[in-house]
Structure 1
């Protein structure tokens, strides 16, 4: 069994907006409006250029992803994973597709590192245990293919979320 994909995943507690990676992922709505939660933190710390670029892109389909610059953040890009409509919740299908499309977009842009939050578990109300399973499955499947990504980091807000992701990763099978 090839477990090489595991060596490319890092889990840690911290502030996603300070991650020194090529791209951080925003838990976005499909209108690409940077409101509260992760998106609000990205807007506050990254400056107005990120929302301006989102406005230029406009609305994207649920489950899709879009890439912008990262303004004043350490990362060079923000990938906006549209897992919900503004004011609504995240579905498992939209979480899965937006995670997959974020990874695909990173590889299409020749990025080597990406950092994700636990998408959909804040404002959008998606259960964190299921989020960890779904997102890690998509990352595993992506890393088992040819990709430019050498590091996929999950930067979790609190110790409990980190523990849930660690437990989910430890229990994952190779396929």
Structure 2
């Protein structure tokens, strides 16, 4: 177990679309339709090229993740993590798989930095505390093996969400 995995995680409040990282992670539906929430902000700020690329790629399996360009965003890529079907809630199994597969896509593309939102906690209704537990557990597991990732940011929309992620991270063992 890499005991320094915590040092590679940065938690902060802010706008994911402004993150200065190799890739931001989109809380996506499996059809890769960039509608509202995080996906909508990515579509608006990144421009139409992201949706056009998603139209060529999708749909993808629930729990899957694919990488696209990032249009006009500061990041170079967007990793689309499909934790839900359009109009349906996110399940824990899909959140876990989407997080794991996002980390794999980052590694396969030799990325050094990525930024995640709290996937599934908006329109998909997944509880924020359980989201933090699942996502941070997947990050910890990812750092047990070889990886190109040097830093993983969690960019949370509001202070209460940041507080929850900070508390969950502090309570995690090893």
Q: TM-score by structure 2 length?
A: 0.99
**Structure 2 segments unaligned to the other structure (5+ residues):** none
* d(CA) in 2 for partners of 1:156, 1:112: 20
- What residue is the counterpart of 1:151 in the other structure? 151
Residue-by-residue CA offset, 1:87-144 (whole Å, 9 max, x unaligned): 1000000000000000000000000000000000000000000000000000000012
Residue 48 of structure 1: aligned partner: 48
Aligned match of 2:4: 4
Contact 2:2-2:143 at 8 Å conserved across structures: no
Unaligned runs of 5+ in 1: none
Is residue 81 of structure 2 the alignment partner of residue 98 of structure 1? no
TM-score, length basis structure 1: 0.98
Question: Is contact 2:11-2:154 (8 Å) kept?
Answer: yes
Change (3 A) 1:33 1:14: same
Distance 1:154 1:58 in 2: 25
- CA deviations on 1:38-85 (whole Å, 9 max, x unpaired) are 000000000000000000002000000010000000000000000000
Structure 2 match to 1:139: 139
Query: Alpha-carbon deviations, 1:8-56, whole Å to 9, x = none?
Result: 0000000000000000000000000000000000000000000000000
Once the two structures are superposed, the pairs formed by residues 23-172 of structure 1 within 5 Å of their partners are 23-172=23-172
Assess if the C-alpha contact under 8 Å between 2:25 and 2:114 holds in 1.
yes
Q: 1:173: Cα distance to partner?
A: 1.1
Q: Secondary structure at the match of 1:103?
A: helix
Q: Distance in 1 between matches of 2:124 and 2:31?
A: 14
Structure 1 residue 145 displacement after superposition: 1.0
Query: Aligned partners of 2:16 and 2:98: how far apart in 1?
Result: 18
Shift of 1:2: 4.3
> 1: distance between equivalents of 2:2 and 2:150?
16
4+ runs deviating over 6 angstroms: none
